[in-house]
Amino acid sequence: MLTWNRTIPFLNLMAVFSVFAQSPPPSPARPWHSPDEREIVSEGNRFRHSAFPIESDKTYSLAELIDVAEAHNPETRVAWENARAQAAAIGIVRSELYPTLSAVALSGVDRSEVPLGSQFYRQTVPVFEASLELNYTIFDFGARRGRIAAESARLLEANFAFNDVHRKLIYEVQQAYYRLLNASGQEAAARASLANAQAVQQAAEERLHDGLATLPDVLEARSATAQAQYDLQAVRGAEQIARGDLATALGASATTMIRVQPLSEVPTPESVGDSVNEAIDNAFAQRPDLQAEVAGIREADARRKEARAAFYPSLSLQANPSAQSWYVLQQTLPWGHTSDLNGGVALSLNWTLFDGGARKNRLAQAEAEIRRAQAQVGAVHDRIEDEVWTAYSNLNTAFRQREAATALLDAATQSYGAALESYNYGVRSLLDVTAAQKVLAQARSADVLARTQVLAALSDVAFRNGESIQANTRKSRP
């Protein structure tokens, strides 16, 4: 036993030494590496987001992708757990409305030598005591109610922040989805442009074989084909990046393969129903970040009530009943025993008469926080109004660009067809055909971009006015 008792403190000392044995990097010239780095990496891997199944053969709509993201993106769980923690904080402060009751049990033995005359007598006194302690604040002029109201307002802020996380996540998924549609559409346009370039090259080579074209014409056509091939590879890379962005927004691995509807199957609205003024009014009524700022005014007002209560006294009740049991054994005498029920009840009136101005400054601080919160709401109002106005302006621009892109594509298609046909008849040069082919390629790209810009602008309007998280729009997203 002696060896064991000495070993335990030694092991504890070694454990404490290992905890505090950390040190900074030994040199500024090299990266820091240690066994702790591997431990941290191992611990971090345990908290990686668990994978969830994505059906590789299923074509997902935007609404389905948003539902997947809301269920699996870790940002929503972070906001949810934050709101739950804040709800628990309300329970903590609400408990101050009730008394606290604690129980204490004590047991001990007192052994001593008691002198009597010229002799000492051994005396043993075992004691057992059980007591209850009750504390209750009878009134405090609203201090507890102020703290409860403040925490309730903070829960409102946390709930609105939770809604805002969903609003931002929906917008992130929508933007990633439309970027993927644009990239896929650009790839299809690039393939069509490559086919056009190859057709021009074939026509030039046939005319060279028949002696109707020159070698520079063929070289120019081959150069145009190589350029179209280069452009195709560039947009294929952009499509892969867009797929990774969408998978990450869903909370899945960036390598996850997700099939989406082609751009041709996605309906594109021709106009928007609400006016910009209606959209601004909807944003004021629906934006969760604005609602969180308004809840901040409630919290500041509750803090002011709590600060005012500090100027008044508080009355508390304390009660502590206890049961005691005493035994005594004296040398040459029999056992003795007694027990009793003791305790007391007290009322405590506490009133701070002077504190050097602390209460006054706390009240001034709380009133300043109210004014700050009110000014912040006004600033958010202005920002939201500007955001909605900008989103509507971009949407109108996108509508006009789409009309222009459609007209450009029609004209470029006709121009290319006429140029190629005229070249085959020998009345146009190859430079005219390649120029028309390049214009057609640009027109195809512009048409795809214009169509996806309309969809992205519509989602931006829904994001700015808070429409995307409303219950009546959950089944009909743009």
pLDDT above 90 (res 90): yes
For 456, residues 6+ apart whose C-beta sits below 8 A from its C-beta are: 174, 175, 178, 179, 398
Give the per-residue pLDDT at 12.
53
Amino acid, res. 227 = Q
pLDDT above 50 (res 5): no
Mean pLDDT (whole number) for 188-211? 88
CA–CA–CA angle 375, 377, 382 (5° rounding): 95
Q: In this structure, are residues 86 and 292 in contact, taking their beta carbons and an 8 Å threshold? A: no
Q: In this structure, are residues 177 and 246 in contact, taking their beta carbons and an 8 Å threshold? A: yes
Mean pLDDT (whole number) for 384-397? 94
User: Running DSSP on this structure, what letter comes out for residue 287?
Assistant: -
Phi, psi of 442 (to 5 degrees): -65, -35
Where residue 207 falls among pLDDT bands split at 50, 70, 90? confident
Phi-psi region of 461 (alpha: psi -120 to 50; beta: other; left: phi over 0): alpha
Give the per-residue pLDDT at 10.
46
Where residue 426 falls among pLDDT bands split at 50, 70, 90? confident
User: Running DSSP on this structure, what letter comes out for residue 101?
Assistant: E
pLDDT above 60 (res 6): no
Better-scored residue on pLDDT, 287 or 12: 287
CA gap 435, 279 in Å, rounded: 44
User: Running DSSP on this structure, what letter comes out for residue 468?
Assistant: G
DSSP string, 125-153: EEEEEEEEEEEEEEE-TTHHHHHHHHHHH
Mean pLDDT (whole number) for 441-453? 93
pLDDT tens per residue, range 345-357: 999 999 999 999 9
Q: Is 294 exposed, middle or buried (0-12, 13-18, 19+ CB in 10 A)?
A: middle
Give the per-residue pLDDT at 7.
45
Q: In this structure, are residues 444 and 195 in contact, taking their beta carbons and an 8 Å threshold? A: no
H or E, element range at 106? strand 100-116
Token look-up 């009909």 returns 476
Phi, psi of 280 (to 5 degrees): -65, -45
The CA distances from residue 351 to 315, 341, 356, in Å, are 9, 33, 14
Of the candidate ranges 268-272, 429-433, 437-441, 472-476, the one whose mean pLDDT is the lowest: 472-476
For 209, residues 6+ apart whose C-beta sits below 8 A from its C-beta are: none
pLDDT above 50 (res 477): no
The whole-chain average pLDDT of the chain stands at: 87
Mean pLDDT (whole number) for 69-87? 93
Q: Is 0.75 topped by the overall pTM?
A: yes
| Percentage of residues of the chain with pLDDT beyond 70 | 93
CA gap 336, 437 in Å, rounded: 115
For 262, residues 6+ apart whose C-beta sits below 8 A from its C-beta are: 181, 184, 185, 188
Strands 322-330 and 119-139: antiparallel
| Percentage of residues of the chain with pLDDT beyond 90 | 56
